[in-house]
Amino acid sequence: MKLEEFEAKKILESFQIPIPPYGGVVTGANEVSSALKRCGPAPWILKAQVQTGGRGKAGGIKKAKTLSEAKEIVSNLLGKKLITAQTGTDGILVKKVLIEKGVAIQKELYLSLTLDRKQGKMILIASSCGGMEIEEIAQTSPGKIEKMEVSVPSGIETYQARELLLKLGLYDSNSKLVQERIKFIKKCVKTALSIDASLLEINPLALTENHQLIALDAKIVIDDNALFRHPEFKTMESSLGQSSAERQAKKAGISYISLKGNIGCMVNGAGLAMATMDIIKQHGGEPANFLDVGGGASVQQVTTAFKIILSDKNVKAILVNIFGGIMKCDVIAQGIVTAVEEIKLTIPIVVRLEGTRAEEGRKILAQSGLNITSTRSFKESAEKVVELATGTIAVTPSPSLV
Amino acid sequence: MSILINKQTKVICQGITGEAGSFHTRACKEYGTKIVGGVTPGKGGTFFEEIPIFDTVKEAVEKTEAQASMIFVPAAYAADAILEAEDAGIKVIICITEGIPVLDMVRVREKLAQKKEKVWLIGPNCPGIMVPEECKIGIMPGYIHKRYSNQKQLGQVGIVSRSGTLTYEAVWQLSQLGIGQSTVVGIGGDPVLGSSFIDMIELFDKDPETEVVLLIGEIGGLAEEDAARFFKEKMSKPLIAFIAGKTAPAGKRMGHAGAIIEGKSGGTAQEKSLFLKSMGVHVASSPAEIGVTVQKVLFSRNNR
């Protein structure tokens, strides 16, 4: 679960990590005045709450010095589609603006805690270059990236934090400041481990003119697998940042991701589901979605899956690809027939059943009298569904797609 | 020969009385796996279809000399179950459970790394290990597998995969072509795993019965690239691969917790496929051609 900036900052604040004085999140110009009051005197920073990088360059972060200026900026940002280097041409709709107090800073740095998949460890990454993406720093000044292993659940020791300060040029002759900064780093580590973050990124991490470290921006991704032990995140608004179809799928235990094509897919297993999308594309079609119906694939599950696929009005044909292992194909075929009848499916559907009792399954489909094309091989299934969706014969896969 | 397990391996199931645990313990036993016991705290002294149940893994190991454990314990308790198995001296731990928090796995890996003796952890979030016609520890359908190739001289394929049903698809294609499998290992779809592609292809490279190795990868992380580098530097047998997810959008988790293209640091199926090819790996271009790609390599090897 990826959090919005304001949510991430609230978490940091609850762990006593300094953030800029918080005014609030507004959804209309009428809320601006009270938010500014909470911040204290100008200048104020107004930040579009969208989950994408490159907001600043795209005009999503503005500075205001007067109330009328702030109101105007908020009115302009809300409802606007922000197009950044990462969003593509569609952009991303701004629904909320975070208002906080502008902070005078002397230096921007970088700090993050993230999972190193290869080592299977949490690592702390820091750099004296901040404000740009870490990948950019890695390219322009690879020598300025510090990495440190974090022990789970104990975190890092004080000497490690001190070492990091030295490397970042944050060590100071004032020992009180050093103690503060060590605490800051240790708190960040503690926060990441306490909330099961797979990413906690503070970029920029700023050194203010008052010599304090402060989190100017924050990005937090919570490990979905750990949400069961964090009821406090249940209410986070980001958890609702999905389409209604995606929410419906999640409830039913189905993995569903909407894409831009017109061929709906229903598959059991994530790997096979991805492979099914790939083969559709190879034969000249465009998948409309990723959908893993799960291992069980009961009648109810299949019905829900069909409904979710059909909620996308672009879908012209559906490919069902089930490898029956533990789940027997005849049971799945019966489920498909029942579901198709129940929701009165009218668009063509291609079903490939393979594995346990596949022959019996195909017989059930053939005898159903429904608009179902039963296929055998993986390739034939892709060809058939592309033909039905586009009205043209599928192209032979071009090697360039590989 | 096979890797990790064989028909002599004594196996227990942790979480044997749960729905999935009991169903699959039964299926494994029917397949011929030597299931010697189960563990469910509080149910020690009772039986599940003549299989003795113990309260702890330690007790199960003392009484049955079990060497491998299959874990179906719910996600919230699965990391603890892995550590219990390791502490009791189990040598091959196969964790089927999906949805274990990443930090739990980080902690488990840290503990396992401190062990003097090698303990193999396979998974989590995996279908398990299969040695056709000998031993099945996991949830894969047994009958699709085939031990020996129709043409004896072709030898067998060792398979390692991050996926479940896509592996069954590949196994099915091979069996249809009359090509046998020495061992099939699902290492799991999570970002932090007990064993890597490299761990498995290294074992396959040493296994006399494995002629070639098939790797089934997907988007996310750099494990396939690492495996390809290992292949080029150290492996003597041919490596064949398929990478799923060429149409997967960036930033979205494709079902598996580990299947996500993150940042700008790579992890796309195209990048992986190209890199693998550049390292000399035979990459199947379509999921429908995994079997025939393996077949081609086996034939060319036999016609040398």
Nearest to A118 among B24, B226, B287 (CB): B226
Phi, then psi, of B239 in degrees rounded to 5: -120, 130
Q: Scan for tokens 């004085």, then name that residue.
A: A21
Q: Which residue did the predictor score with more confidence, A66 or B115?
A: A66
Residues of B designated as active site: 256
What is the complex's ipTM, to 2 decimals? 0.93
Rounded to an integer, what distance in angstroms lies between the CA atom of residue B204 and that of residue B206? 5
Q: Does B164 touch chain A (CB under 8 A)?
A: yes
| pLDDT score recorded for residue A400 | 45
Residues B3-18 pLDDT 10s? 999 999 999 999 999 9
User: Do B106 and A120 make contact, defined as CB atoms within 8 angstroms?
Assistant: yes
Residue A137 has pLDDT above 90, yes or no: no
Indicate if the pLDDT at residue A335 is higher than 90. no
- Write the CA distances from A163 to A146, B3, B75, integer angstroms: 10, 45, 37
Count how many residues are written for chain A.
Answer: 402
Task: Give the confidence band of B107 by pLDDT, cuts at 50, 70, 90.
Answer: very high
pLDDT score, position A399: 47
Using a CB-CB distance cutoff of 8 angstroms, which residues of chain B are in contact with residue A277?
245, 247-248
Residue-wise pLDDT for A68-89, tens only, equals 999 999 999 999 998 887 777 8
Q: What is the pLDDT of residues B292-301, one digit of tens each?
A: 999 999 999 8
Percent of chain A at pLDDT above 70? 95
Of B105, B139, B265, the CB nearest to A120: B105
User: Is the pLDDT reported for residue B130 higher than 90?
Assistant: yes
Interchain proximity B169–A399, CB inside 8 Å: no
Q: Does B167 touch chain A (CB under 8 A)?
A: yes
pTM: 0.92
* Residue contact A271–B256, C-beta within 8 A: yes
Average pLDDT, chain B: 94
The string of pLDDT tens digits covering residues A224-237 is 999 999 998 887 75
> Is B199 part of the contact surface with chain A (CB cutoff 8 Å)?
no
Find the range with the poorest average confidence among A117-126, A335-344, B40-49, B58-67.
A335-344
Strands (E) located in B162-202: 181-186
State how far residue B160 is from chain A, nearest Cα, in angstroms.
Answer: 13
CB B3 within 8 A of CB B137: no
Q: What spatial distance separates the first Cα and last Cα of chain A, rounded to whole Å?
A: 32
Q: What is residue A167's predicted lDDT score, i.e. its pLDDT? A: 95
Range of lowest pLDDT (A51-65, A324-338, B4-18): A324-338
Work out the minimum CA distance from B62 to partner chain A, whole angstroms. 31
- Position A89 scores a pLDDT of 80
For the stretch A291-318, pLDDT in tens is 998 766 677 888 899 999 999 999 999 9
Among A220-229, A388-397, B186-195, B250-259, where is mean pLDDT lowest? Answer: A388-397
Residues of A in contact with B265 (CB under 8 A): 135
Contact B99 A271 (CB under 8 A): no
List the single range of A43-52, A351-360, B159-168 with lowest mean pLDDT: A351-360
Question: Which residues on A lie below 8 Å from B114 (Cβ)?
Answer: none
For residue A380, the chain B residue with the least C-alpha distance is B288
Contact between chains at B165 and A401 (C-beta distance less than 8 A): no
- Residue in A7, A100, A201, A383 annotated catalytic: A201
User: Which chain B residue has the Cα nearest residue A254?
Assistant: B255
Lowest mean pLDDT, pick from A229-233, B183-187, B261-265 = B261-265
Query: Does residue A41 register a pLDDT over 50?
Result: yes
One DSSP character per residue, B113-145 reads: HH-SS--EEE-SSS-EEEETTTEEEESS-GGG-
The answer to whether the Cα torsion of B218, B221, B223, B224 is positive or negative is positive
Residues of A in contact with B249 (CB under 8 A): 257, 259
